[in-house]
Amino acid sequence: MLSLLIGLTIAALLPQLSAAVSAPISSDVVAFITNEAWDAAFLSPNATGQAPVDGFNISTPYPGAKSGSWSWSIQVKNDMPNGNSKFVTGTWIQLDAPDDLLQPAGSSSSIDPSWYICDSLYFVDGLTSDAASVDAGCGGVLPAECKADMLRAMASGFNKASSRVFRCPSVDLVPSCKDAFGKGWYGVASTIDRDRKPGPSSSGTFDFARIGLDEDEHEAGNLTAYDKSIRQIYIAGLIWGYSNVSSPGESLTPETSLSCLRANRITEGSRKLSAGVSMSSGGSLGLAVLAVLVAGVVSAWLF
């Protein structure tokens, strides 16, 4: 059973969980690594990746103008100390905004109050690749019908929640994606608005997820979780939505995007994809995940 740490309370993951949180949600594998230790470890990641996104200038009122300088970034770091002389492999996923849209780290953001952006992330057990690169638009990863239906569901589901506080739709799957996702998957959603501040590492970076694919801490040099982490493909979604102070937005359908990313760029000196390593797919989730660094409502499904 996958367990989540909410603040200081351990709770078993139910088939559907929806909770308002202001602290990280995480597994005990990565939960107790301090922000300082995490940041220090990722000064020298073992693998990185990026998926560009067509976004908007969110410093101007909704719907704004197109801005193609957004991107999802992913980093993997092996052998991160986790206490008791044990180690974990960490994955860090962030959303990078154009630097000129945001104020320096730690200060108020310049996000116009008319914006309400939903970001979501899907982990699919067994969705891995040994290819040199993964199509950022999810070509060859998601069937065309599945992707199109997900984008439509994201747009049509925006602002349909029973609570006017949280405008993002659920991360449940559309029927055409059931086969592509299989039985083991996990999804989370959060928000970016004028109250969401960028992370300390960059004036234009929003921390989204800290993930550990170890089932438990490992001895130094154990590469089992690392080999899985550099193969794992994540599906990231964005809804460029409007807030309750945006009267023009109420009559518009928000634009959406789905991106696929993997840490495919191996740092010199780090272990590369090994042809001799076989990764299993399907079956039950063998992972310890997830630290979502957001304040807001988080929804999760595990089937």
pLDDT in tens, 80-110: 988 778 888 999 998 988 876 655 554 555 7
Q: Is the pLDDT of residue 204 over 80?
A: no
d(CA 263, CA 121): 15
Q: Is the model more confident about 248 or about 243?
A: 243
Buried b or exposed e, range 244-271, using 16+ CB within 10 angstroms: eebeebeeeebbbbbbbbbbbbbbeebe
- Residue recorded with tokens 């992370």: 199
d(CA 32, CA 34): 6
Buried b or exposed e, range 149-164, using 16+ CB within 10 angstroms: bbbebbbebbbebeee
Q: Is the model more confident about 18 or about 289?
A: 289
In 3D space, the residue among 67, 50, 45 whose CA is nearest the CA of residue 58 turns out to be 67
d(CA 69, CA 97): 7
- pLDDT tens track for 39-91: 899 999 999 999 999 999 888 899 888 988 899 999 999 999 887 788 889 99
Residue 42 has what pLDDT?
92
d(CA 210, CA 243): 27
3-state secondary structure of 1: coil
Q: Is the model more confident about 128 or about 9?
A: 128
Residue 266 has what pLDDT?
92
141 token code pair: 């990863």
Stated as kind and residue range, the H or E segment containing 208 is strand 205-212
d(CA 123, CA 159): 24
Residue 295 has what pLDDT?
34
3-state secondary structure of 40: helix
Q: Is the pLDDT of residue 16 over 70?
A: no
Residue 149: what residue type? D
pLDDT cut 70: percent of the chain above it? 68
- Angle in degrees, CA 238, 61, 122, rounded to 5: 10
Residue 186 has what pLDDT?
72
Q: Is the model more confident about 149 or about 193?
A: 149
Q: How confident is the model at residue 302 (pLDDT cuts 50, 70, 90)?
A: very low
In 3D space, the residue among 251, 249, 213, 255 whose CA is nearest the CA of residue 237 turns out to be 255
> Which of 165-174, 194-203, 273-282, 293-302 shows the lowest mean pLDDT across its residues?
293-302
